[in-house]
Amino acid sequence: MNLLLENWRKFMKEEVINTREDLVALLRDNPEQRKTLDIRKGEGAKSFGKVEDPPKVVEFDYGEFPDLINPADDMGWDFILADNSDVEDENLLPVGHVSYIEDKELWDSHSVEMAENIGGNLKVVLAKDGEISGPEKDLIVGFFGPMWQFKEPEWY
């Protein structure tokens, strides 16, 4: 019974946000959403679509909004923090995003299975007060640029 109540409480807190545009609008209007930090800069690695082997050490803080569900993977929307921002900062606003290329032929040419809905599984970039510097952008572009599975970051 306790497990049922716990799952119900979790379900009641979560909200499915269907598109990047909806997520950006929500975050601009209400930036104080609950955030969890999955990886601190330099302290963990990710395979990014099960492509990077060995997993690549992350050069920025990386996390998710556990209560804002991305229907592309039924998990919290992912975020990247600009280098001069901290997860505890108030007024973290979206300044851009990084998204996967959704092209089955491309994935097949690299002998990697493309996850369903991978194009919608993007990472939103957050910065304190919506201000991101050129060097902060360069860090993100430099990190994702060599990876064939990603589009070039888009800045707002």
Give burial (CB, 10 Å; 0-12/13-18/19+) of 3.
exposed
Q: How confident is the model at residue 13 (pLDDT cuts 50, 70, 90)?
A: low
- Output the average pLDDT for the chain: 92
Domains along the chain?
A: 2-155 (3.90.80)
**Quick one: pLDDT at residue 60?**
97
**Tokens coding 121:** 């599984």
Q: Which H or E run includes 103?
A: none
DSSP letter (8 states) at residue 90: S
What percentage of the chain carries pLDDT values higher than 90?
90
**Quick one: pLDDT at residue 5?**
39
Handedness of CA 104, 110, 149, 145 (dihedral sign): negative
Long-range contacts of 16-20 (CB under 8 A, 24+ apart): 16/69, 16/71, 17/68, 17/69, 17/70, 17/77, 18/71, 19/120, 20/97, 20/99, 20/120, 20/122, 20/124
Span 64-92, pLDDT tens digits? 999 999 999 999 999 999 999 999 999 99
**Tokens coding 56:** 């690549």
Q: Which H or E run includes 92?
A: strand 92-98
Which residues, listed in sequence order, are joined to residue 93 by a DSSP beta bridge? 127
Span 31-42, pLDDT tens digits? 999 999 999 999
The reported pTM is: 0.89
From 96, 98, 86, 99, select the one nearest 132 (Cα to Cα). Answer: 96
**Tokens coding 52:** 């990077």
Span 98-147, pLDDT tens digits? 999 999 999 999 999 999 999 999 999 999 999 999 999 999 999 999 99
